[in-house]
């Protein structure tokens, strides 16, 4: 199934689950004017096909991880995937992105304190095979997270490959 194969009802189900991951199928069915079985089958298909993953999201700051950082990393030629794999195993690391531009990798991490941040940079990151250079950015405030993204109700609101002037 592709994004184009999702119809309006699928998109509305996704929107409701994004708003409340614990919403009962029956409550969704009532809001959407369909049967519970329709919602259940469609949600199962959306999950099975990888469009949706229902999960709990922990807030790192509530657990004492107050230092949030983004780290741009340049790797030795041909070692980006190896470095990314090593970084992905570290519990402090929230995300690892292979990128284009000035850095080969972009890493998002959370740590309890500035002392832990310094240790992470000097001891942990410095020991990763293939890391040539890094530049860290301390996140002062998060304005939007990936989990806050909402699927547009209609594909035309944001169609892949469509430039802004075509959406009007």
What residue ranges do the domains of the chain occupy? 7-57, 60-138
What is the phi/psi pair of residue 68, to 5°? -115, 130
CATH 1.10.10.10 fits 7-57, yes or no: yes
Which pLDDT tens digit goes with each residue over 53-97?
988 888 899 999 999 999 999 999 999 999 999 999 999 999 999
Distance CA(65)–CA(59), nearest Å, equals 9
Contact yes or no for 6/51 (Cβ under 8 A): yes
Measure Cα distances from 148 to 11, 12, 20, 84, 165 in Å. 16, 16, 12, 25, 25
Percent with pLDDT over 90 in the chain: 73
- What CATH fold (topology level) applies to the domain 60-138? Alpha-Beta Plaits (3.30.70)
Q: Taking the chain (168 residues) in consecutive chunks of 10 residues, what is each chunk's mean pLDDT?
A: 76 92 96 97 95 88 95 96 97 95 96 96 95 96 81 63 47
Distance CA(103)–CA(64), nearest Å, equals 29
């Amino acid at each position: 199934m592709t994004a184009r194969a999702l119809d309006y009802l699928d998109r509305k189900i996704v929107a409701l689950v994004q708003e409340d991951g614990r919403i009962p199928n029956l409550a969704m069915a009532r809001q959407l004017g369909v049967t519970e079985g329709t919602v259940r089958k469609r949600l199962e298909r959306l999950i099975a096909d990888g469009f949706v993953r229902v999960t709990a999201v922990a807030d790192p700051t509530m657990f004492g991880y107050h230092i949030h950082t983004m780290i741009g990393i340049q790797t030795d030629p041909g070692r980006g995937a190896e470095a990314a794999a090593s970084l992905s195993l570290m519990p402090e690391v929230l995300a690892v992105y292979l990128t284009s531009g000035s850095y080969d990798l972009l890493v998002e991490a959370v740590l309890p304190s500035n002392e832990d941040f310094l240790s992470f940079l000097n001891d942990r990151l410095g020991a990763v095979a293939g890391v040539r250079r890094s530049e860290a950015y301390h996140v002062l405030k998060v304005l939007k997270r990936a989990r806050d993204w909402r699927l547009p109700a209609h594909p035309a609101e944001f169609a892949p490959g469509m430039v802004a002037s075509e959406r009007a």
